[in-house]
Amino acid sequence: MVKNSLISVISQEEKEKNKGSVEFQVFNFTNKIRRLTSHLELHRKDYLSQRGLRKILGKRQRLLAYLSKKNRVRYKELIGQLDIREPKTR
């Protein structure tokens, strides 16, 4: 498991100030998801970790849906920073 490859978009001062913000929560869930994904690549039959990953994915999805409804600009900035969704092309 590689811990150094985790993203650090939010500075330390912002972490202390905004621990309850939607952006910070999505940032933390994204780090956990990436950590669990790398863990599951090594341990394919770890079903409890798979369940935890699905729960975290659901929480992040609900937070992103809330943010997209409340503030579309902040949502798009966060998606761009974390690089978690593909841009839609038509």
Does residue 87 fall inside a structural domain? Answer: no
The pTM assigned to this predicted structure is 0.76
Does residue 1 fall inside a structural domain? Answer: no
Does residue 14 fall inside a structural domain? Answer: no
| Interatomic CA distance for residues 3 and 21, integer angstroms | 24
Please state whether 83 falls in left (phi above 0), alpha (psi between -120 and 50) or beta: left
Does residue 73 fall inside a structural domain? Answer: yes
Does residue 2 fall inside a structural domain? Answer: no
- Beta-carbon contacts of 83 under 8 Å, excluding residues fewer than 6 positions away, are none
Does residue 8 fall inside a structural domain? Answer: no
The residue segments making up the domain with residue 76 are: 22-81
Residue-wise DSSP of 16-64: HH-TTSHHHHHHHHHHHHHHHHHHHHH-TT-HHHHHHHHHHHHHHHHHH
**Total domain count for the chain?**
1
Pair 49, 39: CB distance under 8 Å: yes
Tens digits of per-residue pLDDT, 31-88?
999 999 999 999 999 999 999 999 999 999 999 999 999 999 999 999 999 988 766 6
Does residue 5 fall inside a structural domain? Answer: no
CATH of the domain at 76: 1.10.287.10
